[in-house]
């Protein structure tokens, strides 16, 4: 089968590359010539485990090509995926200008029937706008070319996107067209061997499903973070509570790990978009607004603990931060808790030395350049270097290599043996026995020290 994927960002590149794994021919189209040149050289613009060898193999075997020409991308395409960004506006709404620009371009170049697939996360009703934009351009050309617009939201976890695509929990197909349904079932047949993993519904239903899924996961995180804050005040260990409630099959353990807030390109943006959609319908989204508010507060919980420990004065204090990406397995720092924490520390007069296994280049782009040039923030290549002379270590992202550090070496390097654990990775009693002052999220009776 021949597939065009418009947009070579995270979703587009993973989608295009993974479809080649079952022998499909894919053209990934983008207007960014520099990005395309890098991709042709085998340089991926994102870090995603397992993706690079798939791209290399597909390019070498002629299954994956890159183009900036829409006509070339559509020439043989039976399926056209729209996978461009939908950044949030100032009011939290999803910005559809790129999606609709692609739709117009498709209408200007479409030569044969194709299934047009919204892969981007888009508000309810977007498929109708995409269809209208394509039809308008076809009318300007004076041609009558049939097409169907389908909603096929992505459910890819950064850090596990390849596995998620190749072995999906479910594939949502939003369409009212039998022809499109049959075509989509054919496309995904190799990926969905259990029939009930392919779920067909109305287009608007599918668009809403994506938002509802992410909002539900964000709600679980914020709920557990709120419980953790109460546990801190009541002298309760939230980890015991988590295990107690997670053992209930109705609840389970997924997304009930307390921490220092969620980030990334999906949860914050999608919760905000759902709030905006609700407001546009004169509906007050009480739960969603609370979820967002709790998360914004949670991103400052480590700073509040740091400031409390040091008596409110952080001027000249040095903090070694482990982890910058919003989660392990990715170099993505969009809406990351680390950015909020570093900003608060710098504004309080502290010095920050930070390390991340893969996100240092991203951090160099994301953080204000004056922080780096003036020495208020240093990005170091080695995990333990950030602890030299540090007043405290702050764990922000729970990368595996941080789980069992050399605490004896840490004590020798640090000026003060204080640990702020933003992901509850360490054993309070164990660190206390080694002479550390240990702060965590919701572990009760803070601080814990000898």
Instruction: Report CA dihedral (133, 9, 423, 321) to the nearest 10 degrees.
Output: -130
Catalytic, out of 28, 231, 260, 266: 266
Does residue 152 have a cis bond before it (omega within 30 degrees)? Answer: no
CA atoms 407, 408, 413, 414: torsion sign: positive
Could you tell me where the DSSP H helices lie in 110-237? 126-141, 161-166, 178-188, 203-234
For 93-170, list the strands marked E by DSSP: 114-118, 147-151
**Cα distance between residue 415 and residue 222, in whole Å:** 34
> Active site includes 266?
yes
CA 136 to chain CA centroid, nearest Å: 34
**Cα distance between residue 169 and residue 421, in whole Å:** 32
Neighbours of 112 (CB within 10 A): 12
**Cα distance between residue 125 and residue 203, in whole Å:** 8
Q: Would you give the DSSP letter of residue 427?
A: -
CA atoms within 13 A on the CB side of 362: 21
Q: Would you give the DSSP letter of residue 288?
A: H
Q: What 3 state SS string does 149-173 have?
A: EEECCCCCCCCCHHHHHHCCCCEEE
Axis crossing angle, helix 203-234 with helix 286-298, rounded to the nearest 10: 50
Active site members? 266
């Amino acid at each position: 089968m021949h597939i065009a994927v418009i947009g070579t960002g995270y979703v587009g590149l993973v989608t295009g590359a993974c479809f080649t794994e079952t022998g499909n021919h894919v053209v990934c189209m983008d207007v960014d010539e520099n990005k395309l040149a890098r991709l042709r050289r085998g340089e991926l613009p994102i870090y995603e485990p397992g993706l690079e060898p798939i791209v290399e193999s597909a390019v070498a075997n002629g299954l994956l090509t890159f183009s900036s020409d829409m006509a070339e991308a559509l020439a043989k395409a039976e399926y056209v995926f729209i996978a461009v960004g939908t950044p949030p506006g100032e009011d939290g709404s999803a910005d559809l200008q790129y999606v609709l620009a692609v739709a117009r371009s498709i209408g200007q170049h479409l030569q044969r029937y194709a299934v047009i697939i919204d892969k981007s996360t888009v508000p309810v009703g977007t498929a109708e706008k995409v269809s209208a934009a394509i039809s308008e351009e076809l009318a300007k050309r004076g041609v009558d070319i049939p097409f169907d617009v389908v909603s096929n939201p992505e459910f890819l976890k950064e850090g596990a996107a390849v596995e998620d695509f190749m072995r999906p929990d479910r594939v949502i197909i939003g369409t009212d067209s039998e022809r499109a349904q049959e075509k989509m079932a054919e496309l995904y047949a190799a990926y969905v061997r259990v029939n009930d993993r392919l779920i067909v519904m109305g287009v608007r239903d599918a668009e809403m499903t994506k938002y509802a899924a992410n909002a539900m996961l964000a709600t679980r995180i914020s709920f557990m973070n709120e419980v953790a804050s109460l546990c801190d005040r009541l002298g309760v260990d939230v980890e015991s509570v988590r295990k107690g409630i997670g053992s209930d099959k109705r609840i389970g353990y997924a997304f009930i790990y307390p921490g220092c807030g969620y980030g990334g390109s999906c949860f914050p943006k999608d919760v905000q978009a759902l709030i905006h959609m609700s407001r546009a319908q004169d509906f007050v989204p009480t739960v969603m607004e609370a979820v967002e508010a709790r998360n914004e507060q949670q991103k400052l919980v480590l700073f509040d603990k740091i400031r409390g420990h040091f008596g409110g004065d952080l001027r000249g204090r040095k903090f070694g931060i482990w982890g910058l990406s919003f989660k392990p397995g990715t170099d993505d720092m969009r809406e990351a808790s680390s950015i909020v924490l570093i900003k608060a520390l710098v504004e309080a007069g502290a010095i920050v030395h930070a390390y991340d296994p893969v996100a240092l280049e991203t951090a160099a782009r994301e953080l204000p350049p004056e922080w780096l040039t003036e020495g208020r923030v240093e990005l170091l290549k080695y995990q333990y270097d950030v602890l030299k002379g540090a007043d405290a270590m702050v764990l922000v992202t729970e990368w595996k290599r941080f789980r069992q550090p050399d605490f004896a070496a840490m004590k020798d390097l640090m000026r003060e043996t204080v640990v702020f654990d933003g992901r509850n990775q360490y054993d309070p009693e164990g660190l206390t026995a080694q002479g550390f002052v240990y702060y965590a999220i919701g572990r009760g009776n803070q601080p814990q020290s000898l």
